[in-house]
Amino acid sequence: MVCDMEHSRPALDADREATRVRAVSAFRGLRRPVDDPKIARLLHLAVRLFDARQAELLLIDHDGLTGLACLGPASRHRPAFERLAGLIVTGGKPLIEDEGPAQASTRPNGSDGHGRLAAAPLIDPAGHVVGMLRVEGLNLARAVDPLDLDALADLAATAMASLLKAAGHERRRDQSRNLESERLALAIGAASLGEFEWDIAGDRFRISPRMAKIAGVPEGEIPSEGGMALFAFVHPEDRESTNASVADQLEKRGRYEVECRRVPDADGRTHWTRAAGVMVHDEAGSPSRLIGVVQDITGRRLQDEQRESLLAELDHRIKNLLAVVQSVAAQSARKSSSLDAFLKTFAARLKSMSSAHDLLSAARWRGATLARIAAAELGGLAPTQTRWDGPELFLTPRAASALSLTLHELAVNAVKYGSLSVENGKVEVVWRRSASGGFSLEWLETGGPPASPPTRRGFGATLIEDVVGRELGGTASMDYRRSGLCALIQAAADALAEGPPPEPAPSATPERIVETLIAADETIRPGAIAGLKVLIVEDSLLLALELEAGLEDAGVEVVGCAAELGEALSMLGLTFDVAVLDADLNGQSVAPVAEMLRREGRPFVFATGYADKAAPMGFDAPIVRKPYNVHQIARAIADVTDRS
């Protein structure tokens, strides 16, 4: 309902008109007709006021009149209204116009003219005339009172208020729609989703650019072939099951969600897609269209597969580790002369295995450097009596574990019977790459008692000569010389791994770590901790029971055992001299307990299975690594209570 009125409107100042037209633009988005009962009542009052045939609200835009609401039969006399609009915009006041002879003479025979017109301007809060309230077909027999025009102006002002409210509502709704659209677009983009729509009646798919890029489907509209067209891009092995799943879910729930492989790309790589859709029905309840999204989940599927592989590998390694521990225990028991000797050697071997595990864990189980293995096994023995040297070599996890246990057995033998049993003895470990691509390692003892072959073959010799030889893919030999033992280990190239990872930066403050190679009970004075009262905080029941029994054998009174953080905090009111704290209590840090003990000035010891960052930061307390024995805990307790 827009007509040209450029030639009928009086010329206006260009700037003023441009400003007014901009004001009109605020109302262009209104629905037509304006659905407001108040507007309908205002038009009815206007008709009754002038005993007229029709009343109408119109916008006066730059290119014509636009009807917003109307009461009565539609009018055919737009040119007359345009002239009236020009007068309204120019004068800005209500007025009445009669049909003159010129207008009457141009009417077709038998047609009715508009007769008399009345109009009042629609003025916005800034004073711009944006439209008019027009009344047509006034009763010519009825005189028009000037107050009637004032009343029409009041009705126009009331109508303007309603239009402003409606325009604001439409604007907010448009903004909300735009905002929701933007949010949806952001969400779809952030989630890397592609959209599609199936027009069931038109048998067409509409494919978005994002979906085309994700799924390799042509962009734009394509024939849907009864909804089957997209299944051509599904992997042939998944096509039938995916189709059946989609059909079943749509039938039961009206929506679906599936994951399937796509047809391999040109390089033969397989990609995974997640698709979800919902069926939309028309007013009759029949399916009219289906809207959906797709997402590339290849990365997630690869992560899932890697996670499953890691879990399977972890399960395999745990079972292997338990089997190794069982074997070490059996061999140690078979070769030990007493229960006490078995406990000492078995605990020391477990400690060596734990050290190797820490090195491998630090390198994400890619392996460990030979230098670090040597340092872990020899560094705590006699710093002035041991030396190791060789090129940077990175061992596989299997080779690192075997070599760590081997060096441990050699170190134990040196401390008990060899060059480290005397003050002037020396142990030198050197290694070099071999021509075959592997490496050779030589253990050389000097300055100690003459070495002699053992009278019986112990587990240590069996481990070094047989097991390690096989684990390293090479050979191991022992030479018992008068100057001391010499062991030569030859390893195959398979024992070495590709390039070592970056070495971790050393800690700024060295941790106080209590480590024991052998004979830990000899490093603490008998009865040193007798009479002390100890609180044990440990979430493993078996460890807590073993520690409690061992400490009580040493004359300690255990005042309580806490397995949970809350339980430990509640026991801080007990009287005790020192606490043994597991650093992690079922996933909760023991730091709150340590902090309270620190504030109260009561000593404590950390016991933990973590290789790095074991103790809560900021606490100056000894750390005992798991697996530990009671003697290590006892020595740490003696240190912090000044009883060593």
- Looking at residue 506, what is its pLDDT? 44
Average pLDDT over residues 186-208: 81
**Run of H or E including 301:** helix 298-335
What are the phi and psi torsion angles at 166 (to 5°)? Answer: -65, -40
* Contact of 396 with 496, CB cutoff 8 Å: yes
Question: Domains in the chain, please, with CATH?
Answer: 14-172 (3.30.450.40), 193-296 (3.30.450.20), 356-495 (3.30.565.10), 513-640 (3.40.50.2300)
CA distances from 521 to 7, 526, 535, 539, 595 (A): 113, 8, 21, 25, 30
CA–CA distance, 350 with 627 (Å, rounded to integer): 7
DSSP 234: B
> What is the separation, in whole angstroms, between the first and last Cα of the chain?
103
271 closest CA partner among 280, 259, 283? 259
Q: Six-digit token pair at 120?
A: 């009042």
**Run of H or E including 581:** strand 578-582
Q: Over the stretch 530-589, which tens digit does the pLDDT of each residue have?
A: 999 999 999 888 778 888 888 998 899 999 999 899 999 999 999 999 999 988 888 788
Q: Is 137 helix (H, G, I), strand (E, B) or coil?
A: coil
Average model confidence (pLDDT) for the chain?
80
| Widest Cα–Cα separation across the chain | 145
Q: Where are the alpha helices (DSSP H) in 336-451?
A: 339-362, 370-378, 397-416
Average pLDDT over residues 501-514: 46
Average pLDDT over residues 285-299: 88
| 486 bridge partner residues | 444, 479
CA–CA distance, 349 with 198 (Å, rounded to integer): 68
Instruction: Say what the alpha-carbon torsion angle 20, 24, 26, 29 is, to the nearest 10 degrees.
Output: -160
* CB under 8 A, 24+ apart: contacts of 98-105: none
Least confident segment among 8-17, 49-58, 443-452? 8-17
Q: How many alpha carbons lie under 13 Å from residue 105 in its C-beta half-sphere? A: 3
Share of the chain above pLDDT 90, in %: 25
CB-based contacts of 168, cutoff 8 Å, min separation 6: none
Assess whether pLDDT exceeds 50 at residue 514.
Answer: no
Name the residue with higher pLDDT: 147 or 340.
147
CA–CA distance, 449 with 425 (Å, rounded to integer): 9
Assess whether pLDDT exceeds 60 at residue 10.
Answer: no
Taking the whole predicted model, whether its pTM rises above 0.85 is answered as no
CA–CA distance, 175 with 143 (Å, rounded to integer): 48
Helices 37-50 and 146-190: angle between axes, nearest 10 degrees: 160
DSSP 31: -
* Contact of 546 with 610, CB cutoff 8 Å: no
Name the residue with higher pLDDT: 328 or 16.
16
Q: Over the stretch 230-261, which tens digit does the pLDDT of each residue have?
A: 998 899 999 999 999 999 999 999 999 999 99
> Which residue type sits at 601?
G
Average pLDDT over residues 492-520: 55
pLDDT-derived band at 116 (thresholds 50, 70, 90) equals confident
Q: Six-digit token pair at 510?
A: 């060295």
Count CB neighbours of 9 within 10 A.
19
Q: Where are the alpha helices (DSSP H) in 64-192?
A: 78-91, 101-105, 146-190
Residue pointed to by tokens 């996933």: 587
Q: Over the stretch 324-374, which tens digit does the pLDDT of each residue have?
A: 566 567 766 766 778 877 777 777 667 666 665 665 555 455 667 888 888
Residue pointed to by tokens 């939309």: 280
Least confident segment among 68-82, 120-134, 487-501? 68-82
* Contact of 65 with 59, CB cutoff 8 Å: yes
Average pLDDT over residues 126-130: 91
